[in-house]
Amino acid sequence: MNENVLEKLKILAESARYDVSCSSSGTSRSNKKGTIGSAAGWGICHSFAEDGRCISLLKIMLTNSCIYDCAYCINRRSNDIPRATLSVSELVDLTIEFYRRNYIEGLFLSSGIVRNPDYTMERLVRIVKDLRQVHRFNGYIHMKSIPGASEELVQEAGLYADRLSVNIEIPKEESLKILAPEKDFQSVFAPMRYIQQGVLQSAEDRKRFRHAPRFAPAGQSTQMIVGATPETDKDILWVSSALYKRPTMKRVYYSGFVPVNAYDNRLPALKQPPLVRENRLYQADWLLRFYQFKVEEIVDDAYPHLDLEVDPKLAWALRHPEHFPVDINKADYEMILRVPGIGVKSAQLIVVSRRHGRLGTEQLKKIGIVMKKAQYFITCNELTMQSVQDLRPENVRRLLVQKNNRKQDDRQLILPFADQE
């Protein structure tokens, strides 16, 4: 280990940073004698970078050299950027020494494609195997499964990694083929299927043999780039929803497109990444996973894009005033979950607390409900406020959107320049 590594680390971290996945959750594994570390089932963020994103794992590429030429990727072969490759011992040392200092939960290993998918995948597998078997590393490992890699290698990777992931990147195949001519959906979905089979097979084996090896216990995840191609939010969310129906898909990440290759005119010229849209997609994703929404309730042909002004749950409520107001003291949990301003935890608190007595506004506020939003959608013990039905949705919308924009100082004259946000 020497100063040389500093430069390599810089290059390879900068190449790896566009992968948004950071989670270290899904595997709970306590320390065993003779091993290093443990895995905390809930995941731990150890730091937050200047962009506010969580740093949980040492997210790094083995090499940023790549034979592919994907238009959206910083590491495409036609880019003239510094290239580096870490040796196995360097990577192992970095992981273990960072881990011992409580900097990280483990390793997130990815790589550019060298020679061919299988060759690359084999190198990744070898490192992960080394970490586990020679160095007895017991922390979290997330490994990228290389698109196009063979089933045998994916099967082997799953024995050492906690989570495997293959990125879809582009939600529609025709767009993917334009931007990444070397890839197709087959090369992405095949490894996904191998991972799924591995996980299900291992679960089945473990029912019969308690010590049968675990396979990628934290399942798999994937990512889609938002804003690089003309796909609508509907296209994106329908893909996510279909993926979540598969048994092992734990997370779909959305990555607001950062124009790293501005010269490539197959890509839109964005002044900054579409962060609001990305945020709305995550909110919609939460509705799918934790709020029992169906994808067609969030986006459909009439509303193919998420509303950028209001969150998707509020947008749904405004489109469906007939379901409101909801009686907090009587309604089902499922319906309380759908009230804008009430989250999963508050909904659970409401349901357990109302057994002891009827709840009023004051108690709801203390429980943590955002009354500014919720007031138009609920009735409770003493509340006689105007509901979304009395006020009409468009007026409620105006009231709620105005509140957020009040920060502007109206004593100040503002000249509307064309390019102002």
3-class DSSP assignment, residue 36: strand
With CB under 8 A as the contact rule, the residue among 4, 97, 213, 332 that binds other proteins is 97
Amino acid at position 26, single letter: G
* CA angle, 10 then 15 then 17, to 5°: 95
Tell me: does residue 330 bind other proteins (CB under 8 A): no
Could you tell me if 29 and 38 are in contact, meaning their C-beta atoms sit under 8 angstroms apart? yes
As a whole number of angstroms, the distance between CA 141 and CA 91 comes to 13
Window 359 to 398, contacts with other proteins (CB under 8 A): 359, 363, 366-367
Q: Is 198 in the site for other proteins (CB under 8 A)?
A: no
Nearer to other proteins, 13 or 335 (CB): 13
- Name the nearest CA neighbour of 142 among 123, 122, 155, 157: 157
Smallest gap from Cβ 12 to other proteins, in A, equals: 8
Q: Which is nearer to other proteins, 94 or 315 (CB)?
A: 94
List alpha helices for 85-179, DSSP H: 88-100, 117-133, 151-160, 173-179
Part in contact with other proteins (CB under 8 A); list of ranges 4-12, 118-126, 245-253, 330-338 = 4-12
Residue 404: strand, helix, or coil: helix
Cβ of residue 388: shortest distance to other proteins, in angstroms? 26
CB of 115 to other proteins, least distance (A): 26
d(CA 350, CA 334) in angstroms, rounded, equals 12
Nearer to other proteins, 102 or 402 (CB): 102
Specify the residue for token string 């320049």. Answer: 417
CB of 248 to other proteins, least distance (A): 27
Is 230 an interacting residue with respect to other proteins (CB under 8 A)? no
Indicate whether 329 belongs to the interface with other proteins (CB under 8 A): no
Applying CB under 8 A, does 134 fall inside the site for other proteins? no
Which range in 122-130, 163-171, 191-199, 269-277 contacts other proteins by CB under 8 A?
269-277
Selected from 232, 353, 379, 389, the binder of other proteins by CB under 8 A is 353
> Which of 21, 58, 307, 347 lies at the binding interface for other proteins (CB under 8 A)?
58
Q: Which is nearer to other proteins, 33 or 208 (CB)?
A: 33
Which residue pairs, CB below 8 angstroms and at least 24 apart, start in 352-358? 354/328, 354/329, 358/329
| Residue of the chain from 70, 92, 94, 113 that contacts other proteins (CB under 8 A) | 94
Residue given tokens 């994808």 in the structure block: 295
- Residue 42 burial (CB count, 10 A): 9
89 Cβ neighbours under 8 A, 6+ residues apart: none
In whole angstroms, the minimum distance from the beta carbon of 139 to other proteins comes to 8
* Minimum distance from residue 299 beta carbon to other proteins (Å): 25
What distance in Å separates the CA atoms of residue 137 and residue 32, rounded to the nearest whole number? 10
Phi, psi at residue 82, to the nearest 5°? Answer: -65, 135
Burial class (CB in 10 A: 0-12, 13-18, 19+), 351: middle
Q: How many residues comprise the chain? A: 421
242 lines the binding site for other proteins (CB under 8 A) = no
For residue 281, state whether it binds other proteins (rule: CB under 8 A). Answer: no
Nearer Cβ to other proteins, position 203 or 258?
258
Contact positions with other proteins (CB under 8 A) in 15-54: 16-18, 30-31, 33-38, 40, 44-54
18 Cβ contact partners less than 8 Å away, ≥ 6 residues apart: 73, 74, 255, 258, 260
CA distance 183 to 180: 6
Tracing tokens 């940023």 back to the chain, one arrives at 64
Site membership for other proteins, residue 407 (CB under 8 A): no
The residues that touch other proteins, with contacts defined as CB under 8 A, are 1-3, 5-6, 9-10, 13-14, 16-18, 30-31, 33-38, 40, 44-55, 58-59, 94, 97-98, 100-103, 256, 258, 272-273, 275, 349, 352-357, 359, 363, 366-367
